[in-house]
Amino acid sequence: MEFRTLGRTGVKVSPLCLGTMMFGAWGTPDHDESIRIIHRALDAGINFVDTADVYSSGESEEIVGKALAQTKREKIVLATKVHGAMGHDPNAQGNSRRWILSACEKSLRRLGTDYIDLYQIHRPSPDTDIDETLGALTDLVRSGKIRYFGSSTFPAGDIVEAQWVAERRGRERFVTEQPPYSMLVRGIEADVLPRCQQFNMGVLSWSPLAGGWLSGAFGQGKDNTSRRSAMVPAHYDMTLPGNVEKLSAVTALHELAEGAGLSMIELALGFVLEHPAVTSPIIGPRTMEHLESQLPALEVRLSGDVLDRIDEIVPPGTNLNAADVGWVPAAIADSSLRRRPR
């Protein structure tokens, strides 16, 4: 396997990163089966594993910890995240120093390790000064509890601001970004990915299969639904114009994949792997069958003609459904911020 360098860190990671969101109550509740899937991925050459404290309320981290206890921890590049609410305490969430330092200790215990390779801020927090966040993360690096830190689903402007503040205040910098990216969600090509290249940040992109839309389960004559439909209906509701556009694009992409002798999954992962800014797309198998269907993408290299046809089906920089971007700034989500007080 040809490993890739994670941004400017010098750390070598596999071209696919194993995401573990589906291990635990959110997906596969059987810990032993989840551990078998993790070990199969490691045996296939994957050395990059991503989780988050919020996944199944910490259960995913516990499963990952059990799996790593049965292998050589030093060979794994372990990433987790902080930000999401962990209970009802209003301070057990977000990007404050108070919560980051506490959450890191809890993640270390669940993971059964004394250090985290990559600690990521799961989402922006407009009510927290970015210097507060960077200061806490810098202290964790200097204490040896984390090796590096990164951001996830940050807009391009926030990425630039964080780099500027780190330089101005003498903080450690975000070395990675984890954005949503797939053939159906391409908005980051316009700004986020160029900024990551500008600052030499590694990119571990999430949802390369677009929440199952590019798994082969969607298309003309199929059910076109997901087990996650109830949790995130905006991603799957076929009364929404954006999802109708997605279905049309998926139908055309199916034809392209068949013509190229590829599975839909291989086309989808091959597309993300091809972008020069992307280090490793994150795959998120729930079953062993899912994992086995995704591993062949490690051998895929899409031709220029195939990539050109993808651009024709979904133009570069396009998000077919705005709900798929993962995070909406308060200035858009809250109408009161766009209106003068009365």
| 31-43 vs 59-68: helix crossing angle, rounded to 10 | 50
Q: Which positions are catalytic? A: 55
Task: Give the C-alpha distances (Å, rounded to integers) separating 257 from 24, 218, 269.
Answer: 32, 14, 12
Q: Which residue has the tokens 């910490």?
A: 58
Helix ranges (DSSP H) in 213-263:
241-259
Tally Cβ neighbours within 10 Å of residue 256.
19
Q: How far apart are the first and last CA of the chain?
A: 62
Residue type at position 55 = Y
Distance in angstroms (rounded) separating the CA atoms of residues 200 and 193: 10
Q: Are 111 and 119 contacting, i.e. CB atoms less than 8 angstroms apart?
A: no
